[in-house]
Amino acid sequence: GERRVWKALGGGMRTELSARSRALGDAPAAVLALERLLPPGHQGRAWELVYSLAAHGANLFTMLQLADGVAPTLLVVKDHTGAVFGGFAEGAWRRSGDRYYGEAGTFVFRLLPGGAGAQGFHWRGKNRYFMLCNQEGLALGGGGHFALFLDPDFYHGSSGACTTFESPPLCGEEAGSPSPPSHPPRPPVPPGAAAPPGSAAAGGGGGGDSRAFTCQEVELWAVRPATAPPLASRIRDRAHSFGN
């Protein structure tokens, strides 16, 4: 695919994308704003597209097959309002049953309107509800609400005030926004401890503001050293293996 190299004006940062991003568009400012949120050790690296809804179909488990063992990654979502948001994960996405996993470097973000940059929300030390992935969908954060939840068909999602990152709802807001999914995910069990079903500690309950959205695009980008061998051939082979 076409490789795009964008440089921050006067910032000395260099971000190379392996393909065009349908979620971020052709605006260098959006990519470079996200680049600045990454941990210093992951800045100035190449972004390689591992999965996109448009290219690979709307299926969480397709994404998991393509992303097996790939880390760190940026999950980028564009919703029905045009809002763009997502999360950075230092660990690879995988099925985790009803237990959270992940590293303290995990964070969530949203792009600000009008090309005004990006806002990141990092771990606040109040719980360790970083990543969750099972047949009900995937989630980042917990306590109060998920910071980001996507159903397994990458059609519906939700975002609410989240204790893990002290983040507000990340998605867009407009009159007539979609109703919440009729079958929300089962309350997960935090690492090493059982959470009462439906409790705020379980990740999906609690009060406060939560918004539902529909996905327009979902992308997963691997953040890799520029000198690393491309993942493209491996991803292509995996896509062919379950696409036939």
pTM of whole model > 0.75?
Answer: yes
Domain enclosing residue 163, as ranges: 14-243
In a domain, 23, yes or no: yes
What pLDDT is attached to residue 239? 60
CB distance 72 to 107 below 8 Å: no
Query: Which residues of the chain are under the pLDDT cut of 70?
Result: 1-14, 174-208, 232-244
Model confidence pLDDT, tens digit, residues 64-76? 999 999 999 999 9
Q: Please tell me what DSSP assigns to residue 42.
A: G
In a domain, 9, yes or no: no
What pLDDT is attached to residue 196? 30
In a domain, 77, yes or no: yes
What pLDDT is attached to residue 184? 42
In a domain, 8, yes or no: no
Q: Residue 162, Cβ neighbours under 10 Å: how many?
A: 31
In a domain, 196, yes or no: yes
CB distance 50 to 220 below 8 Å: yes
* Token pair in block for residue 99: 């237990």
What pLDDT is attached to residue 16? 82
What pLDDT is attached to residue 205? 46
Which of 154, 188, 147 lies closest to 168 in space, CA to CA?
A: 147
In a domain, 2, yes or no: no
Count of domains forming the chain = 1
- Distance from C-alpha of 153 to C-alpha of 155, rounded to nearest angstrom: 5
What pLDDT is attached to residue 228? 78
In a domain, 1, yes or no: no
